[in-house]
Structure 1
Amino acid sequence: MLSPFIVEQHQESKNLFLERFPANQVNRSLQAWDAADEYLCNYIVQEQLVSLGSNGQLPHLLIYNDSFGALAANFKDYRVSSVTDSYISEQGLAHNFDLNHLSKDNITLLTSLDSIPDDATLVLYKIPKNKALLIEQLITIKNTVSQNVIFIAADKAKNIQKSTLALFEKYLGTTTTSLAVKKARLVFCQLNNQLKHQLPSPTSWSVTSPNLQLFNLANVFAREKLDIGARHFIQNLGDVKQHKRIIDLGCGNGIVGLSILAQHPQAHITFVDESYMAVASAKMNVEKNFPELVAQCQFITNDCLNDFDGSSVDAVFCNPPFHQQNAVTDHIAWQMFKDSYKVLNRNGELRIVGNRQLGYHIKMKRLFGNNTLIASDNKFVTLSSIKK
């Protein structure tokens, strides 16, 4: 949905029109920004927290978790380093800059795996849902930037709990909050750099069937243990030896592709996810569990299977998400199914796991003309469709 993003008292800027990415989403009612973005931008402008320094040098804004570029686009005239773990958010930022004919000359895009600059004068921080990611990002900020930096976080008021504020207090320093405006709230921190924190190591746990040791970076889904959907999926993989070129789509830590490699070490598997930390975790897990098979695997951060060659693989295995950030939506699953149809060879298979109530079999049959129930329990189904 094209939605105007208007910041009060920002006399030098015209209204921004922002669109969620990918732009062809089915649910067009979802906005590309929220009240927390609006509150944060208005506060920065009203308090005049960005201006040219005495030497004429542009201030440096370090922005975290900017879903579709609303923050970066509003401060385009300054130096901006934008950090995200999401490939889709990164592409969404670029899309909205192009949509509004904005120059990206002052913007540096950084992934969650990159080092951050140490000369930021202002940190704008959208609070992520993932607690482990929140902690890792706060530690990185504190260990890198000056304690004189201005730090302001933002989120929906209902998401800023006492436990959330305790984490800011623990990992950054003295923490206060604003009043709520349009059900959003700001968090202010004065960094105390006297006490440094060590970045947490990846979590690690094992599964027995197949026998694997799995490592998970901070933003990996179900990083503490095997989620029940994935468990159902790998227990019902069946015989996949007829498939030589396989994609693990939405791979997370790579558990599905790893399970296939354990059964079928001749397979060539491409691990694909939109999270940089997920793809890095999948690569780490192949290196740890099957070091001799790394050369026949690819690890790609992408928006589903965008730009993959058509009719190029034998099978796609997928555990699709049903949300994007805080929005519940099935457009990602639908895009995954359509992209899978495109890249599959004739007689290639799309196999997925999903909650029973999501009705994925209807979408798959509409695309492929067929659908088979492989396994089910009271919560999940494993489904298969063949490209004829």
Structure 2
Amino acid sequence: MITDAVLAGTALTLHRFPLEQKNRSLQAWDAADEYLLEHITTAYPDARDILILNDAFGALSCTLAAKLQDHAQWQITQVSDSFVAQQATCHNLAENQLDWVLDDAKLKQQDSLATLPAQCDLILIKVPKNAGLLQHQLSQLSHMAADIPVVAAGKAKEIHTSTLKSFSHFLQQPTTSLAVKKSRLIFCATTGKPVADKFPVSWALENSPFTIYNHANVFSRDSLDIGARFFINYLPAGKKPLRVIDLGCGNGVIGLQTLSRMPNAQVTFVDESAMAVASAKENVSSNLPDRLGDCQFVQNDCLSDFEPNSADLVLCNPPFHQAQAITDHIAWQMFLQAKHTLRNGGELRIIGNRHLDYLDKLQRLFGNCKVIGNNKKFTVLSSIKRS
């Protein structure tokens, strides 16, 4: 993995998270980070109070902390929906002897549901892949004081006309830079005129009495995704008092359906997205309020630090990407940690796209794997942990 970076003239060691991933070509910063930092170093040399949204692995936060550390008065607020991004930032600050900025509260971390500061000198955005998350964040920015400069960065091919329309709807009319290394910048400023946020959204869950509530950064936020729709057909039922984990829970629809079918089960909803965990909790609270005491809601990096032999069943629809990178390392981490967390005789039950060959992976890891359902697109697999 490439870890040595020079960003806006600052040499840093930066690690991509999780640290155990095997793809050595992936790195913790990209050309958009480089472009953004080079620009603001020249254009806003006096900025001391900086708000950063969606800093994937802390490259922006670490660079700016290194540059600002010799000044008496400065503040960085890092906003992220991702537990992994926040953990990566903490690790990379420590790698560069900058972790004192957290202890001194010179760099503050908050999740995507927290209220933003009313005032700052400069706002930086890494344009997220999820357009709904961007709209939510721009709505938040519209509640801040007027005329704060905003500079956003992303891959040129992912900054569309619709992206610029979102900026103009919530903020001042944007302009864009030339493309450099296939990356582009967006320039605008706050208006001081609040624009309402449409999130969370809600919709009726088909073939059920439930209404599902989704925050902005939740996958398939307007309807039941086709993978979950198929997986629901293969969820467990019965009166056994099982300890169940909905791993990568998203809006929690899988765990919610499991609660409805298993009156004595305890379900832990786990996701690395703060908005996903909040959505799952809202959906249990709204639809099965009497079962809320049987649930836990955890924002975490998969099942890191979960007790071994503590679960009977793990249900999972693993992702095959991390931000813009197509990769199976998160799925593999989920499988490994599920095996560690399951008791002997416990089951990992997953759904995945058929082309991903999870059957072979689970067979090698657990020594067994069987197909319990499939169609042209998806397969549902079950592996049992043996002693």
Task: Name the amino acid aligned to 1:115.
Answer: T
Task: Name the amino acid aligned to 1:117.
Answer: P
Question: In 2, Cα distance between the equivalents of 1:148 and 1:50?
Answer: 17
Structure 1 portions without partners, runs of 5+: 53-58
Q: Which residue of 2 aligns with 1:74?
A: 63
Question: In 1, Cα distance between the equivalents of 2:28 and 2:148?
Answer: 28
Structure 2 portions without partners, runs of 5+: 69-73
Give the counterpart of 1:370 among 368, 371, 379. Answer: 368
Could you tell me how far 1:242 is from its partner in structure 2? 3.9
Give the counterpart of 2:204 among 206, 222, 230. Answer: 206
Give the counterpart of 1:352 among 342, 350, 354. Answer: 350
Question: In 1, Cα distance between the equivalents of 2:318 and 2:19?
Answer: 19
Task: Name the amino acid aligned to 2:46.
Answer: S
Task: Name the amino acid aligned to 1:137.
Answer: Q
Question: In 2, Cα distance between the equivalents of 1:114 and 1:7?
Answer: 29
Could you tell me how far 1:2 is from its partner in structure 2? 3.3
Question: In 2, Cα distance between the equivalents of 1:211 and 1:372?
Answer: 32
Task: Name the amino acid aligned to 2:165.
Answer: A
Give the counterpart of 2:333 among 332, 335, 341. Answer: 335
Q: Which residue of 2 aligns with 1:110?
A: 110
Segment of structure 1 superposing worse, 303-312 or 152-161 = 152-161
Task: Name the amino acid aligned to 2:57.
Answer: F
SS in 2 for 1:208: coil
Does the aligned pair in 2 maintain the 1:248–1:269 contact within 8 Å? yes
TM normalised by structure 2 equals 0.94
Task: Name the amino acid aligned to 1:186.
Answer: L
Matched, 1:128 2:128: yes
Could you tell me how far 1:205 is from its partner in structure 2? 1.2
SS in 1 for 2:143: helix
Q: Which residue of 2 aligns with 1:3?
A: 3
Does the aligned pair in 2 maintain the 1:5–1:38 contact within 8 Å? no
Q: Which residue of 2 aligns with 1:166?
A: 165
Question: In 1, Cα distance between the equivalents of 2:330 and 2:293?
Answer: 29
Task: State, as a whole percentage, how many aligned pairs show the same letter.
Answer: 48
Question: In 2, Cα distance between the equivalents of 1:361 and 1:314?
Answer: 20
Could you tell me how far 1:17 is from its partner in structure 2? 1.6
Count of aligned pairs between the two proteins: 375
Q: Deviations over 1:7-59 (max 9, x none)?
A: 34x4xx4x112111011102121111111000000111122x1337xxxxxx1
SS in 1 for 2:139: helix
TM normalised by structure 1 equals 0.94
The aligned runs of 1:219-230 (5 Å cut-off) are 219-230=217-228
Does the aligned pair in 2 maintain the 1:210–1:262 contact within 8 Å? no
Task: Name the amino acid aligned to 2:371.
Answer: L
SS in 1 for 2:167: helix
Q: Which residue of 1 aligns with 2:297?
A: 299
Question: In 1, Cα distance between the equivalents of 2:363 and 2:257?
Answer: 26
SS in 2 for 1:174: coil
Q: Which residue of 2 aligns with 1:263?
A: 261
Does the aligned pair in 2 maintain the 1:349–1:384 contact within 8 Å? yes
Q: Which residue of 1 aligns with 2:71?
A: none
Q: Which residue of 2 aligns with 1:252?
A: 250
Q: Deviations over 1:239-276 (max 9, x none)?
A: 35446100000000001111111111211000000000
